[in-house]
Amino acid sequence: MDLNESKDSFTQYLEFEKRFSNHTLIAYSNDIVQFFAFLETTYEIKAIEEINHTIVRSWIVSLMEQKITPRSVNRKITTLKTFYKYLLRQNLVTENPMLKIQSPKTSKRLPVFVEKEKMDMLLDVVDFGGDEEGQRNKLIIEIFYATGMRLSELINLKQANVDLYSLQMKVLGKRNKERIIPFNRELKNEIQKYIQSKKELPNEYLFETKKGKKLTADIVYGVVHNYLSQVTTIDKKSPHVLRHTFATHMLNNGADLNAIKELLGHANLSATQVYTHNTVEKLKNIHKQAHPKA
């Protein structure tokens, strides 16, 4: 089978059957394009049947030589593993070269989060302005911090899915998986005030432009980056950092790990367990500061 045909077939499968997000589709597609470019340049391979594990391994070596991080290399390996599982199911190949491929080891990276005192300063002290835009910007940050939802989940959050009576909102997560996230009365009041302030506008999405279109990811990212910059010096100042902050603060205050997993919409507990490392680091610091022999 021609390389480009296999790529097109695979991306259609990811989009229409697996229902991957646009962001994930682009990442997977770019990985396949890079792999195929390597095949054509280095080996002049045109057909999918010509690829074996030695060739795949040589691509991984070339990535490492280009100083691509082990984390990024592992993501590309994951893409190829998914790709070959698809090809085997479709009977487009008879062997899976990925079975002989080992992923490079990566150092565990702790999730970056904002300290509670700085989040309190952001929400209680920082001036967002009294206009509609300032009200919107503060609510964006409050919802991220109160729910731990993803950027894509926030921009696609429909007003009809925010239940002010039951104090819960329904979000559409990865692979179109729905989940319910509770929120408190304080946030309810803020949402209610914001909805009333924009009652003259179309109301499909909770956050919209003046033309009634949902906010773009770039706008929301810019809002979060701008206001986090006013209270913290951490390198990353993104909506995902607020997701990490939500999970870390919940865990530090005694929340059950399985409950956090459900709130975040993680498929596996292992993805949530990374936050326990931050708790351990906090305990170490407390011990060091408080114990006379530390």
- Domains in the chain, start-ordered, CATH in brackets? 3-100 (1.10.150.130), 116-289 (1.10.443.10)
**8 A C-beta contact, residue 256 and residue 269:** no
Q: Which is nearest to 206 in space by CA: 137, 156, 132?
A: 156
Mean per-residue pLDDT of the chain: 91
Burial grade of 74 (CB within 10 A; 0-12, 13-18, 19 or more): middle
Q: Residue 279: is its pLDDT beyond 70?
A: no
Read off the pLDDT of each residue in 29-46 and give the average, rounded to a whole number: 96
Per-residue model confidence (pLDDT) at position 76: 97
Known catalytic membership, residue 275: yes
The model's confidence at residue 280, banded by pLDDT at 50, 70 and 90, is low
Cα 109 to Cα 69: distance, rounded to the nearest angstrom: 13
Per-residue model confidence (pLDDT) at position 175: 79
Known catalytic membership, residue 28: no
Q: Residue 91 corresponds to which amino acid? A: N
Read off the pLDDT of each residue in 67-82 and give the average, rounded to a whole number: 95
Known catalytic membership, residue 243: yes
Q: Which residues pair with 162 in a beta bridge?
A: 169
Cα 24 to Cα 140: distance, rounded to the nearest angstrom: 23
The model's confidence at residue 275, banded by pLDDT at 50, 70 and 90, is confident
Read off the pLDDT of each residue in 103-126 and give the average, rounded to a whole number: 89
Instruction: Name the catalytic one among 57, 170, 188, 240.
Output: 240
CB atoms inside a 10 Å sphere around CB 243 = 21
Q: Which is nearest to 87 in space by CA: 98, 102, 100, 76?
A: 98
What 3-state DSSP class applies to 211?
coil
- Residue 89 contacts by C-beta under 8 Å, 6 or more apart in sequence? none
Q: Which residues pair with 182 in a beta bridge?
A: 168
Q: Residue 164: is its pLDDT beyond 70?
A: yes
- Residue 139 contacts by C-beta under 8 Å, 6 or more apart in sequence? 190, 191, 194, 207
Specify the pTM: 0.74
Read off the pLDDT of each residue in 167-179 and give the average, rounded to a whole number: 92
**Strand stretches in the chain, DSSP E:** 162-163, 168-172, 178-182
The model's confidence at residue 282, banded by pLDDT at 50, 70 and 90, is low
Per-residue model confidence (pLDDT) at position 209: 85
Instruction: Name the catalytic one among 76, 136, 138, 150.
Output: 150
Read off the pLDDT of each residue in 71-99 and give the average, rounded to a whole number: 95
Per-residue model confidence (pLDDT) at position 290: 74
Q: Which is nearest to 20 in space by CA: 74, 71, 106, 83?
A: 83
**Strand stretches in 89-177, DSSP E:** 162-163, 168-172
- Residue 202 contacts by C-beta under 8 Å, 6 or more apart in sequence? 208, 212
> For 163-237, where are the alpha helices, taking DSSP H only?
185-197, 217-228
Q: Which is nearest to 57 in space by CA: 290, 9, 42?
A: 42
**8 A C-beta contact, residue 75 and residue 31:** yes
Instruction: Name the catalytic one among 136, 243, 244, 249.
Output: 243
Cα 3 to Cα 29: distance, rounded to the nearest angstrom: 13
Q: Among 106-115, 128-137, 211-220, 282-291, whose mean pLDDT is lowest?
A: 282-291
Known catalytic membership, residue 145: no
Instruction: Name the catalytic one among 57, 118, 174, 188.
Output: 174
In what side-by-side order are the strands of the sheet with 162-163?
Answer: 162-163, 168-172, 178-182
Identify the H or E element spanning 157.
Answer: none
